[in-house]
Amino acid sequence: MSKRSERRLSRLLEGALKKRHGKNWRRYENVFIFGLLFGCATLAHAVPPLSVQGNKVVSGGQQVSLGGNSLFWSNNGWGGERFYNSGAVGAIKNDWKSSIVRAAMGVDEGGGYLQDREGNRNKVISVVDAAIANDMYVIIDWHSHHAHQYKNEAIEFFQDMARRYGDKNNVIYEVYNEPLDVSWSGVIKPYAEAVIDAIRQVDPDNLIIVGTRQWSQEVEEASWDPIRKNNIAYTLHFYAGTHKQWLRDKAQNAMNNGIALFVTEWGTVDASGDGAVNESETWAWVDFMRNHGISHANWALNDKAEGASTFWPGASGTGGWNDGNLTPSGKLVKSIIQSSDPIPGGDDPGPGPDCGSVSAPGKVQAENYCEMEGVEKENTSDAGGGQNLGYIDSGDWMTYKINVPSNGVYTLSYRVASLNGGGIIQAEKAGGSPVYGSVEIPSTGGWQNWKTISHDIQLSAGEQRIGLAAVSGGFNLNWFDVTQKGGPAPNAITVQAEEYLVMSGVELENTSDAGGGKNVGYIDANDWMSYPEVDIPESGVYTVEYRVASLYGGGVMQFEKAGGDIVYGSVDVPNTGGWQTWKTIKHQVTLEAGKQRFGIYAPAGGWNLNWFKITKGQK
């Protein structure tokens, strides 16, 4: 049972007990709640079945792009086996909003299934049981590059899994991880058909995924000679630093030929599993998967010392992670998974029934969210009646579809009520980045005493998902209104240095600069940060200003496209007199119009950064 479900039960019980026992209800609360929660603890929330419809894998009949994590090889002594447990699975569901986990059971390599069948089988069972308990999909992966050489062992294993889990919609069978350069029609397909037939003797309908030639990249080839069996999808793997538009073209052709794809493994780095994050290509792939309804699992939930790992070495194997445990890849992947589609009808409520696009200027009823976490609806006494959102706690959020007519400054007005005040509501892009601004919630004198508060934010033109997040809770929300403040957007874009999306090497610290908050510090040579997307209104010359501090000087700051493919320019960082003695430096760069992600790189370190500002023209 989710924490939100427990909280809802608690509130329902509180109301029932108050009605039955009046002011003495508290004496019955603990026993009654414990008894009901204990009785409900074993209830399972079934996930919808996954099925192939045309060239899509759909969930409960709905096109989705679900996101999740692949575990590392299960092999004994390889390190990744530490994460094959319920704690790790529960953490990615609850903290990351992962919909999928992949159990990558090593087969023929040292310490794998062929050497220790019972040990590796039990690891898989632990992950599958945890995924079912957390209402997730789980991929049971025969993780081998030579699976066709072990057909009988695969049949035995998958029939065992099908007998154990074939009645659970959660389970997906991946019968061949990554074939090498062997024939699709002569080797891979006949092997897969034999294993599929064996599974279907036990489980008639759960999704089965088949690997494709050349590290599961030749999906187009498979589309020319597809498997003519029920509920079959095909594996596509990519690593953003190596596999670029040419592989997306192959995937598009395969789908055009009628087969459905599932990305059971992907990475932000090179195909070696190492190297730096290629952020621009990662986002190109994410956009491609979302646009085509392709679900995916990122490689790998592990702490091996390589670029593809989610965690730095030494992270816990059972959850309880914070952002300091995350590698640059892990931080980027977490943001991608958190903003992926939820499982339809699952514990995550998914799109609300009244989620429709509202054009600015316009008023949005708070209860007409697209997605949410933690909040509840209740009847309102505010003018106009209807419902408001209540029980808003810290960390709760909602998303909405807004159609913004043009770039500019907009006023967001919120209709709020709060007994005690102290809440903070934050406007952001759905998924949490970038943050547009926040405003404090005052005490209005009661949960149904309503007041309108407002602040100004900058928005780009187009239909988009806007999120409202409770930095601090303790307030109700009835509606919010979006109106253009007038005039074009200011030609200056200010980015707080600590609002990076991914980074390498830097740390945050409190700043004494005007405005307070945090700055980025401990910047050494070769450290870098990359930032969320900003909208450059027109092509031309721009001035980039940086708020810096340095005790010794000698640093160099480079402004670049995120990932480093394009360098726009660099500037020397002077001695400012101290690590918290701040000075603004600047240089001119030439930028193209459009939405872009920028990075800051340190060819030479020894400086702190509080913010940077991009302004049209020369200053």
Q: Which of 178, 371, 373, 545 is catalytic?
A: 178
What distance in Å separates the CA atoms of residue 381 and residue 403, rounded to the nearest whole number? 29
Strands 62-63 and 56-59, how do they pair?
Answer: antiparallel
What distance in Å separates the CA atoms of residue 144 and residue 157, rounded to the nearest whole number? 14
What distance in Å separates the CA atoms of residue 366 and residue 473, rounded to the nearest whole number? 15
Q: Which of 218, 220, 265, 560 is catalytic?
A: 265
Kindly tell me the burial class for residue 332, based on how many C-beta atoms sit within 10 Å of its own C-beta (0-12, 13-18, 19 or more): buried
Contacts of residue 183, defined as CB under 8 A and 6 or more positions apart, other chains included, come to 213
* Helices (H), ranges, 205-357: 213-216, 219-224, 245-256, 279-291, 328-338
Kindly tell me the burial class for residue 324, based on how many C-beta atoms sit within 10 Å of its own C-beta (0-12, 13-18, 19 or more): exposed
- Asked if residues 607 and 551 have their Cβ atoms less than 8 Å apart, the reply is no
Is 118 an active-site residue? Answer: no
CB-CB neighbours of 516 under 10 Å: 9
Q: Of 99, 185, 194, 202, which Cα lies nearest the Cα of 142?
A: 194
What distance in Å separates the CA atoms of residue 499 and residue 520, rounded to the nearest whole number? 9
* Peptide bond just before 300 cis, omega within 30 deg: yes
Q: How far apart are the first and last CA of the chain?
A: 58
Strands 100-106 and 358-359, how do they pair?
Answer: unpaired
Is 178 an active-site residue? Answer: yes
Indicate the residue type of 405.
P
* Peptide bond just before 179 cis, omega within 30 deg: no
Q: Which residues form the catalytic set?
A: 178, 265
